[in-house]
Amino acid sequence: MLNWTLGGYPGGNLELLKLPKEKLAVEKYGSASAELVLKAWACFDRAFEEFPLNSTAQLYTAPQNFGPMNLLFEKPTGYSATMIGFPYDDLDTWRGNHYPEDVFEEQFRKLSTGWAEGLEQLKLAEEIVTSEKAAALADLMNVAEAVYCHFRSTYLQIRFVRLRDSGDKKTIMGILDEEIELARRLIEVVMRDSRIGFEASNHYYYTVADLKEKILNCEFIKAGVFSGTSLMN
């Protein structure tokens, strides 16, 4: 993941052309951490099997490309999601006019939940990794954390669009709170690794400022929900 566009970086998959994953784990992360890294990779593999891959349009237009950077909207914008641009709130295009809304939402829930299990394995590996292998493991953790933020935020954005007119303020508030948390987590990753958010053809996907805007966006919607002036009342 995160190494597709024009040879964009970070990545690491090319290393698998030279070594099997078992040897690669030992070489890069040390024998002490290799088993946990392999468990994490297995979690990521299983989780990614849930990715709703059926429509080329969905690959380019849905929020998984931007993650928490994509803003939430209290009411339908009517805007169409654009290729390598802005997803907006165009759920029909996101799902490629193929997956039912509930199935599309559930797939990203399962994907992000499974990915989180892999992150837990990497956190355990961080506790025992040797000092000479710590930088490599930190690099893997940064990328895996960013991917989680993207997938989890995509699930939340789908859920938000489906629920924003439902009047279910409690669930909507929970979505907004988690979106804020994800934006903050991703800011920390970007501050540690400036490659995250960079895209080779456009020279950016998002910056720290974009992620801070998302936090303000969610806080603004929350304030409206609390005050009763929100469109979702």
Within a domain: residue 3? no
Within a domain: residue 57? yes
Whole-number Å distance between alpha carbons of 64 and 66: 6
Within a domain: residue 145? yes
Q: Domain of 128?
A: 16-227
Within a domain: residue 43? yes
Total structural domains within the chain? 1
pLDDT tens, position by position, 201-210: 666 689 999 9
- The pTM score is 0.92
pLDDT at 85: 80
Q: Is the pLDDT of residue 225 over 80?
A: no
Tell me the range of 33-37, 65-69, 80-84 where mean pLDDT is highest: 33-37
pLDDT tens, position by position, 119-151: 999 999 999 999 999 999 999 999 999 999 999
From 74, 89, 92, 61, select the one nearest 176 (Cα to Cα). Answer: 74
- Pull the structure tokens for residue 90: 């165009």
- Mean pLDDT for the chain? 90
Confidence band for 1, pLDDT divided at 50, 70 and 90: very low
pLDDT tens, position by position, 69-102: 999 999 999 999 988 789 999 999 999 878 999 9
Within a domain: residue 87? yes
Within a domain: residue 2? no
What is the rounded (10 degree) CA torsion for 56, 69, 179, 225? -110
- Return the minimum-mean-pLDDT range out of 51-65, 163-177, 216-230: 216-230
> What is the mean predicted confidence (pLDDT) over 19-44?
97
Within a domain: residue 6? no
Please name the residues in contact with 55: beta carbons below 8 A apart, sequence gap of 6 or more: 95, 96, 97, 98
Contact 81, 138 (CB under 8 A): no
Within a domain: residue 8? no
pLDDT at 230: 61
